[in-house]
Amino acid sequence: MTTTALLPLTSFTNWLAFGERGLSSEAIVTHLTGSAVSRWGHGDHPHDPADFRRCVVLLEAVPVAGLTFPTMRTVSPAWARLVDAWDEILAELTAEVPGFRDRDSGGSASAPRTYALMQRVLAAGTRCEPCDGTGKAEACPKCHGTGRRAGGRCRNEGCAAGHFYCRTCRGRGYTGGDR
Ligand SMILES: [Zn+2]
Ligand SMILES: [Zn+2]
């Protein structure tokens, strides 16, 4: 990884003290400042909505970082794909968890559609139309889509949290792609 120091570490003083740190938000700060702020390596991209959310909160807290953020494209192919789709992912997360910025409720909220979109983006796949990118087919008739039955998890064969997997994309929400 080539590191070009674009910003002084002081731009992130407040985030370093109080921010929500994860491998991917630390990767952004490391890349933009040239200072290794993570104890656990560097360059890791967001893997799920919780990672993505921490990055968004960081970029909004430090506006100058938002301006130079697109240079994350050079860190890895995965980062390049995520940066290119950043606005789309942010729109999906905003629609799915309107209060995602809230540290307590937003940080633990489930966002399966955003997760599916991120998996598609990371794989450079094509959105699966039959299931609208969700990976889900019809609701399970035994648990009526709830995924729960008789006080426990629904054990009907093929039921995945209340729905059957889309046959076109085998539950991935996208087709093609390289992983
Ligand atoms: Zn079921
Ligand atoms: Zn599908």
Looking at all shown ligands, the one closest to residue 168's CA atom is: 2
Please choose, from the candidates 25, 107, 102, the residue with its C-alpha nearest in 3D space to the C-alpha of residue 59.
25
Q: What is the pLDDT of residues 60-86, one digit of tens each?
A: 999 999 999 999 999 999 999 999 999
Element (H, E) at 116: helix 112-123
> Distance, CA 27 to ligand 2 centroid (Å)?
32
Q: What is the pLDDT of residues 150-179, one digit of tens each?
A: 889 999 999 999 999 999 999 999 999 987
DSSP 72-106: GGGT-HHHHHHHHTHHHHHHHHHHH-TTTTSTTHH
> Distance, CA 171 to ligand 1 centroid (Å)?
15
Q: Do 58 and 15 form a contact (C-beta atoms < 8 A)?
A: yes
Beta strands in the chain (DSSP E): 126-127, 136-139, 148-149, 152-153, 163-165, 174-175
DSSP SS3 for 126:
strand
Cα–Cα distance, 60 to 122 (Å, whole number):
23
Mean per-residue pLDDT, 24-46: 86
The amino acid occupying position 68 is T
Q: What is the pLDDT of residues 116-134, one digit of tens each?
A: 999 999 999 999 999 999 9
pTM: 0.86
pLDDT at 37: 86
* pLDDT band at residue 38 under the 50/70/90 scheme: confident
Looking at all shown ligands, the one closest to residue 143's CA atom is: 1
